[in-house]
Amino acid sequence: MKAPKRLQALIEEGLIDSVVRQLMSGKEAQVFVVRQGEDTFCAKIYKEATHRSFRQAVDYTENRKVKNSRQARAMAKGTRFGRQAQEEAWQSAEVDALYRLAAAGVRVPKPLNFYEGVLLMELVADEAGDAAPRLNDVVFSADQARQHHATLLAEVVRMLCAGVVHGDLSEFNILLAADGPVIIDLPQAVDAAGNNHAARMLLRDVDNLRSFFGRFCPALLPTAYGPEIWHLYTKGMLSQDTPLTGRFVPDAHSVDLQAVLREIEDTRLEEQDRRLRMGL
């Protein structure tokens, strides 16, 4: 196919030879299958993410580093330069997270290059060598659901041990490769220790996994892996080899009802935004 303008620059730089086809188009990015010699990769072209609300941008970008104080001031004021800087930081966050997580052994697409707002990375393939499907497009047996749930919990733990929370993990951004699930779409990834919303995002990520796989394996629905994982993390007791039980008994304390209601409303709005991004 004819190369889109944004990919023509990669061809001119010799980073790719040709564009095979478009793989996906969403509100945040377009993804194309590209070739370089005998190898096939993915090219993710970021769009201007005008659909993200200020509230969500603040939650996800809290404590993210920028190049200088001028950028930080502009981002805080919401100027045109600030919005551009914020978008660059949003894109860079996924690139940085991919390199960081790949180095930690997390199952993510291997990043290859980032040039002019285009992320070049590994094509995640199924057993036939075609682009792998999203979990949402696959039906599982109870045993398969239990196995994949356990695999992804281990990946969440591995990510957290590397200091990263995905922030938007669900069946819509996990691919089922020939050798198991692969986590994708990380522009909203946050620093586990540096973001005050990290705990809530981690709990939501794990709850999304529980809810999805619980459709096929109801025995997973009563589990409480999220609170257990975060508790072990905050106590400095979490490692990649830490056995998990799926049970958690919180410390007895008075409940701030208003805070709970705010968390519920935030979660509802974020789910609404996520479904909008996925075109649901």
First to last CA, the chain: 28
For residue 55, the model assigns a pLDDT of 44
For residue 71, the model assigns a pLDDT of 45
Q: Which domains does the chain have, with CATH numbers?
A: 5-277 (1.10.510)
Task: Name the token pair of 13.
Answer: 């730089």
CB 72 within 8 A of CB 88: no
For residue 51, the model assigns a pLDDT of 45
pTM for the model stands at 0.79
Give residue-wise pLDDT tens across range 157-167: 999 999 999 99
pLDDT of 81 strictly over 90: no
Residue with more model confidence, 260 or 37: 37
For residue 74, the model assigns a pLDDT of 42
Give residue-wise pLDDT tens across range 227-247: 999 999 999 999 999 999 999
Question: Over the chain, what is the mean pLDDT?
Answer: 84
Active site residues: 168, 185
Backbone angles phi, psi at 174, to 5 degrees: -130, 130
Per-residue pLDDT averaged across 63-89, rounded? Answer: 52
List Cα–Cα distances, 36 to 2, 16, 85, 117, 205, in angstroms: 15, 5, 31, 19, 35
CB 232 within 8 A of CB 242: yes
| % of the chain exceeding 70 in pLDDT | 76
Which of the residue ranges 22-36, 178-192, 257-271 would you say has the lowest mean pLDDT?
257-271
